[in-house]
Amino acid sequence: MFANLLGPRTVTRGLATVSKYTPPVVNPPASAMIKSRLAQPPQYKLTTVRSFPSLEPVRLQPVSSTVLGLPLRRDLLWRAVVFEADQARVGSSNTRSRAEMGYSRKKLRPQKGSGRARMGDRGSPTRHDGGRAFARHAPFDWSTGLPRQIYSKAMLTALSHIYEAGNLFVVDGQADFVSGHSNAGDLFVAEHGFADTPVLVIVNEFRENLHNATKDKHPRLEIVSKEVLEVRDLLKAHRVIIEQEAFVYLAEQFQPELPIPTVE
């Protein structure tokens, strides 16, 4: 032990024989060797980049496991959905309180002597035609708070769940038709069997032909821009088609480090 602390030393034998002391080699314990041989979890997931509208495979793209390899966390998804629903509430209801009903404030019967239960004025919230207790007036803000880290992880958890189910289609280039005629939308839906399937298309920017071809006859095909995408949109869809540029935007928006390496 002291030899390891002090380093190599010189030992003198006899008159002129000099040799260097070499500390013994200690083999690592078997448990450490087993741990070193354990397989490390993969750092990347392989996603298939496809062409549009044929959805034929073009190449494989590695994506960080922190984006498409998260386990399913229903608690995070629930908190994100409640947060988005609260944000969507307008708060435009105008309910009248007991003071705003316009009734007399006089008691409907005396406090004592009638042999019946006590009764207040006609505008009391306990009556069917009375005012509402703690009435709210528009505009009322129903929005609640949620830490950004939790919402970001919920978004990536939803993407990971769709990827693991095999329902995520990353499109190379623009997800748009050549023509805006409804026949283009009919052919696309019929070819891929999306007639009765909720489909979500996430685009980098507005695609006019895609919008015009699907807006009238295919209400279950929803087109959402990358900036307004919500966790609820991902959970409601059975198939998700996303442009690669929009996918990179979401990965960088909800993940601090660069999640997608450059492939030559």
Taking the CB of residue 182, how many other CB atoms lie within 10 A of it?
A: 15
User: Span 49-65, mean pLDDT?
Assistant: 93
Bridge partners for 17 per DSSP:
13
Q: How far apart are CA 165 and CA 65, in angstroms?
A: 15
Residues in contact with 73: Cβ distance below 8 Å, sequence separation at least 6, in sequence order: 153, 154, 157
User: Span 190-212, mean pLDDT?
Assistant: 93
In contact, 188 and 194? CB cutoff 8 Å: yes
User: Span 190-218, mean pLDDT?
Assistant: 93
Burial of 67 (0-12, 13-18, 19+ CB in 10 A): buried
- Answer whether residue 174 shows pLDDT above 70: yes
Mean pLDDT of the chain: 84
Best CATH choice for the domain 44-88+144-253 from the list 3.40.1370.10, 3.40.50.10490, 1.10.10.10, 3.40.50.300: 3.40.1370.10
* Lowest mean pLDDT across 33-42, 115-124, 192-201, 243-252: 33-42
Instruction: Read off the pLDDT band of 1 (50, 70, 90).
Output: very low
Q: How far apart are CA 83 and CA 98, in angstroms?
A: 32
| pLDDT at residue number 105 | 87
| pLDDT at residue number 39 | 60
Residue 54: closest CA among 202, 180, 166, 173: 173
| pLDDT at residue number 89 | 85
Angle value at C-alpha 215, between 209 and 218, nearest 5 degrees: 115
Domain ranges of the chain: 2-37, 44-88+144-253
Q: How far apart are CA 37 and CA 45, in angstroms?
A: 22
- Answer whether residue 8 shows pLDDT above 50: no
- Answer whether residue 23 shows pLDDT above 50: yes
Instruction: Find the Cα–Cα–Cα–Cα dihedral 27, 30, 31, 34, rounded to 10°.
Output: 110
* pLDDT tens digits, 62-104: 999 889 999 999 999 999 999 999 998 887 788 888 888 888 8
In contact, 218 and 188? CB cutoff 8 Å: no
